[in-house]
Amino acid sequence: MSETLIEVADNAGVVRLTLSRPKALNALNSAVLSELAGVLDELEQRDDLRAVLITGAGEKSFVAGADIAEMRDKTPEQARAFAGQALKTIKRLETLPVPVVALVNGFCLGGGCELALACDWAVASDNAIFGQPEVLLGVIPGFGGTQRLPRRVGPAMAIDLVTTGRKIDAQEALRIGLVNRVMPQAELEAYAEELTKQLGGNGPEAVRGAKQAVHDGLDQDLDSALALETSLFALCFAGEEQREGMSAFVEKRQPNF
Ligand code: CO8
């Protein structure tokens, strides 16, 4: 039987994925990407999905990049196929209809940083190290980094990072908007639990609608995006969540979604 490279834990619809190749600092090879695609096949079918948290096994690394040993001898065609496999899988993670959160517990380099960039937001341990060091290996980012990084941190900072290959610490990642929060590694677990409660307790359709409005709106001009928000807002009033949420407020009780 082949080794499990992704541990999947489900807590009432909040699914936690732990990428687990600790001996290679959880580097992404084609086997991990295939397994992730299989996990996504299942998650995409689930109506009860509320959120996805993604992290790396161990205390040293989230993901230290694409697997360099696997890439070393690739031809241009094989490199294109590998990048294509990664891009497709990462896009599927990004477009899950629920919030996807990266819990960055250490090295977050190259393909690892690109994976985190495809998540809706990222929380980092204070020992986390970020970077797009591909130019140090004679290549450029190939899992979306040249496109998602400037969209998150702006073109000047993105070009700085992808052309120097320099590594930045968690505080700098916070300052440039690459991550949303930084906390001691020991607190990451408690944060994950808090997030599980928070995201698990909110109106699931509203959470999905909020994510959809932000994602789909970003690709449109402002007027079209505002019209999209109005449509999605109005749609909330067609379901039961809005009545329950607002009734709970008026009746001074907790909502039961
Ligand atoms: N790929 C494969 N193995 C890795 C990787 C990686 N990205 N990173 C670490 N490892 C392995 C090491 O080889 C080592 O294995 P072994 O014990 O068998 O020698 C083990 O993990 C532990 O690593 P180190 O001994 O190096 O640990 P250190 O604490 O000394 O250093 C670092 C940690 C700084 C993270 C260091 O391992 C490092 O620099 N890693 C590489 C980081 C990197 O350059 N990442 C970017 C990779 S390129 C990329 O992601 C491009 C994506 C686009 C691809 C396009 C498609 C073709």
Nearest C-alpha to atom 56 of ligand 1 is from which residue?
Answer: 83
pLDDT of res. 3: 82
- The answer to whether the Cα torsion of 53, 58, 62, 64 is positive or negative is negative
Is there a catalytic annotation at residue 94?
Answer: no
pTM summary value:
0.97
Task: Count the residues in the chain.
Answer: 257
Ligand 1 pocket, CB under 6 A:
24-25, 27, 64-69, 71, 79, 82-83, 107, 109-111, 133-134, 137, 141-143
Separation of CA 189 and ligand 1 centre (Å): 25
What ipTM was estimated for this complex? 0.98
d(CA 83, CA 140): 11
pLDDT at 51: 97
Domain regions of the chain by residue span: 6-200, 203-251
Paired tokens of 82:
């590998």
Q: Name residue 188's amino acid.
A: L
Quick check: is 114 catalytic?
A: yes
Closest-CA residue, ligand 1 atom 44, reads 133
Ligand 1, atom 2: closest residue by C-alpha: 67
Single out the catalytic residue among 70, 94, 134, 193: 134
**Ligand 1 center from residue 160 Cα (angstroms):** 21
Do residues 4 and 10 touch, judged by C-beta distance below 8 A? no
Mutate which of 5, 19, 23, 25 to test ligand 1's pocket (most atoms within 8 Å of Cβ)? 25
Q: Looking at domain 203-251, does it have CATH number 1.10.12.10?
A: yes
pLDDT by residue, tens only, the chain of 257 residues: 578 999 999 999 999 999 999 999 999 999 999 999 999 999 999 999 999 999 999 999 999 999 999 999 999 999 999 999 999 999 999 999 999 999 999 999 999 999 999 999 999 999 999 999 999 999 999 999 999 999 999 999 999 999 999 999 999 999 999 999 999 999 999 999 999 999 989 999 999 999 999 999 998 999 999 999 999 999 999 999 999 999 999 999 999 99
Token digits of residue 69: 């040993």
Which CATH architecture group holds 6-200?
A: Alpha-Beta Complex (3.90)
Atom of ligand 1 nearest to the CA of 139: 51
CA of 155 to the centre of ligand 1 (A): 26
